[in-house]
A and B are shown apart, each in its own frame.
Chain A
């Protein structure tokens, strides 16, 4: 069984953490194709993280279908071993353990685990892939530093390097930019964009910034209350009506005077006038 993965098909997926709780995923339907850059959007509690965790089998499901398709053959995710799964999809979780005294190199090298045999040290290919991954995200100069002393932006580049070293066709990232400033958000998104174009990776990222997502993603999945509200290209998904329904607030669509681009921003209804004008000059 190769590592290539053409499609992931999700039908009527339901997951409730325990019997008495409300379902977190109530009825998820989606089709993910290789080669796209998916942006998953939606308010807190819409089930975005739970949804991607299903794709990695980090959670059980109560009902519904979740199948991987390779070369026209469909397989339920539960019939795929952990090792095989680790060869197809790599994952950058929302919060990463950062208080462990490992060097950056050690952490990136962990990405090679699915390719390594027991007891064998890193071989030539492993070391090449690790170095290449670190150079790709511009963190090779940090290789001997300890991860607990890195800044947020550096750490995120290291963790993305690890997913690259894992060398899987699909990469899933849970809020990869949420804790970063605007410049570092942009840098990380550029790396993801290059992963798609230069290395033909399929990227699935949970994002909160609608404008950042619309600048980089090719497909959008808008979630609300445990199911997919809308999915497809920007002009079908990121509409005024959809956003209003999903986020329960009004949005402004502003055309950039310089580029052929529309920026979407929430309408803030504040009547409070502070002493000093807070207009941006």
Chain B
């Protein structure tokens, strides 16, 4: 194991991205083959390959019947892709936030984005307003709007004091986050018939996934991830300190603003689709740093792919461990994540991990 990790560090970025992508593909095929209707890995692969635009002609999957095709294509595939996209987005944002705030404890929810989303979702559930947009239900739209509104609020408040510092944003984010959580609790005390629904939503789940939502996520994930990856090199300089980055010609405030905006789109879209899923965004970048170092040109794309792999597997666990009961995936990520994180904290003494 040690030698594999060592090789990983020394290989070129392209090579590692290809390896991680191959693993992700295998995990996705595995995920669509697992469930109450049993399919082998090879059969799932055939069903998936049959949909490819050109190569599909050479794959014979007709003998599996339309029932399996429906299960794989209408149910499991959109769900698996949603999990992968959400995992990828959250982990990438975790890496970006840990860098931009120079704080190893920063995670995608640190600016209050998720509380904003949860507040929006709660409002939607309680008012029962009906609307639809890009495959999102009312709850999703309210959550997305709430997420973006909170980031804008946090940013504007920290700007009042003049220069926008990482600390003032983190403190404002925490304050607003706490405030909104209290507000959600208050709303729930007056509507205790809805408590379970709201509670389950905040735990996070991919059970409501559909192709429409996959489309919505893909669009925003592509925009957000594209912008974040563009800033990888500048983020490296900011990691060395604001003054340092400025003296190397970087407009630090603008860079920070762009990164926060792109990250908020990613988190907002993820939370709108799947609720609040913790720990993945905090943990995955630290795992990557442990083997590949702090260079964001590697850290960001690797986190994106490993996040997708991790979340896909967590979702498989969520729907199979206690089948037919489904466990909210947020519980799975936290139960895997927390012990691993403690392990990382203990390793910290050796001076290797938990740096931004």
Q: Which residues of A contact B (CB under 8 A)?
A: 53, 56-58, 82-83, 85-87, 89-91, 93, 96-97, 99-103, 106-107, 110-111, 113-114, 118-119, 146, 148, 166
Output the nearest chain B residue to A95 by Cβ-Cβ distance: B241
Give the interface size class of chain B: 20 to 34
0/1 string, B216-246, CB within 8 A of A gives 1? 0000000000000010010011011101101
Alpha-carbon separation in the docked complex, A119 to B231 (Å): 9
Determine which residue in A90, A91, A111 has the highest number of CB atoms from chain B within 10 A of its CB, and name it. Answer: A91
In the complex with contacts A100-B294, A102-B236, A102-B294, A113-B241 CB distance below 8 A: no
Output the nearest chain A residue to B293 by Cβ-Cβ distance: A101
Alpha-carbon separation in the docked complex, A89 to B248 (Å): 9
A-B contacts, 11 of them at CB < 8 A, read A58-B243, A58-B246, A82-B251, A91-B247, A100-B355, A100-B356, A101-B293, A102-B293, A113-B233, A113-B250, A119-B230
Chain A residues whose C-beta falls within 8 Å of the C-beta of B293 in the assembled complex:
101-103, 146
**Closest-CB distance, A198 to chain B (whole angstroms):** 23
In the complex with contacts A102-B293, A106-B295, A97-B250 CB distance below 8 A: no
Alpha-carbon separation in the docked complex, A53 to B250 (Å): 16
Alpha-carbon separation in the docked complex, A113 to B231 (Å): 13
**Closest-CB distance, B354 to chain A (whole angstroms):** 9
Asked if B248 and A100 sit within 8 Å, CB to CB, the answer is: no
Output the nearest chain A residue to B239 by Cβ-Cβ distance: A100
Residue B351 lies at the interface, judged by CB distance under 8 Å to chain A? yes
Residue B339 lies at the interface, judged by CB distance under 8 Å to chain A? no
In the complex with contacts A102-B295, A146-B293, A82-B240 CB distance below 8 A: no
Residue B249 lies at the interface, judged by CB distance under 8 Å to chain A? yes
Asked if A82 and B249 sit within 8 Å, CB to CB, the answer is: yes
Chain B residues whose C-beta falls within 8 Å of the C-beta of A90 in the assembled complex:
247
Known: A97-B239, A110-B248, A166-B248. 6 other contacts (CB 8 A): A56-B246, A58-B243, A97-B102, A100-B239, A106-B236, A113-B233
Output the nearest chain A residue to B254 by Cβ-Cβ distance: A82
Alpha-carbon separation in the docked complex, A87 to B247 (Å): 9
Alpha-carbon separation in the docked complex, A102 to B102 (Å): 14
Q: Which residues of B contact A (CB under 8 A)?
A: 102, 230, 233, 236-237, 239-241, 243-244, 246-251, 289, 293-295, 351-352, 355-356
Alpha-carbon separation in the docked complex, A43 to B346 (Å): 42
**Closest-CB distance, A21 to chain B (whole angstroms):** 14
**Closest-CB distance, A44 to chain B (whole angstroms):** 20
Asked if A97 and B246 sit within 8 Å, CB to CB, the answer is: no
Asked if A86 and B244 sit within 8 Å, CB to CB, the answer is: no
**Closest-CB distance, B106 to chain A (whole angstroms):** 15
Asked if A114 and B248 sit within 8 Å, CB to CB, the answer is: yes
**What 10 A-B pairs have minimum CB-CB distances, sorted nearest first?**
A86-B249, A114-B249, A101-B294, A91-B247, A83-B249, A113-B248, A101-B293, A100-B294, A97-B241, A97-B240
Chain A residues whose C-beta falls within 8 Å of the C-beta of B294 in the assembled complex:
100-102
Asked if B239 and A82 sit within 8 Å, CB to CB, the answer is: no
Output the nearest chain B residue to A118 by Cβ-Cβ distance: B230
Q: Determine which of B240, B251, B355 lies in contact with A96 in the assembled complex, contact meaning CB atoms within 8 Å.
A: B240
Output the nearest chain A residue to B299 by Cβ-Cβ distance: A101
Alpha-carbon separation in the docked complex, A97 to B251 (Å): 19
Asked if A82 and B236 sit within 8 Å, CB to CB, the answer is: no
Alpha-carbon separation in the docked complex, A272 to B102 (Å): 49
**Closest-CB distance, B322 to chain A (whole angstroms):** 39
Determine which residue in A57, A96, A102, A148 has the highest number of CB atoms from chain B within 10 A of its CB, and name it. Answer: A102
Chain A residues whose C-beta falls within 8 Å of the C-beta of B237 in the assembled complex:
110, 113
Asked if A110 and B236 sit within 8 Å, CB to CB, the answer is: yes
Output the nearest chain B residue to A163 by Cβ-Cβ distance: B247
Chain A residues whose C-beta falls within 8 Å of the C-beta of B251 in the assembled complex:
82
Chain A residues whose C-beta falls within 8 Å of the C-beta of B239 in the assembled complex:
97, 100, 102
Output the nearest chain A residue to B290 by Cβ-Cβ distance: A101
**Closest-CB distance, A63 to chain B (whole angstroms):** 18
**Closest-CB distance, B21 to chain A (whole angstroms):** 21
Chain B residues whose C-beta falls within 8 Å of the C-beta of A106 in the assembled complex:
236, 295
Determine which residue in A58, A110, A146 has the highest number of CB atoms from chain B within 10 A of its CB, and name it. Answer: A110
**Closest-CB distance, B76 to chain A (whole angstroms):** 37
Chain A residues whose C-beta falls within 8 Å of the C-beta of B355 in the assembled complex:
99-101, 148
Asked if B289 and A101 sit within 8 Å, CB to CB, the answer is: yes
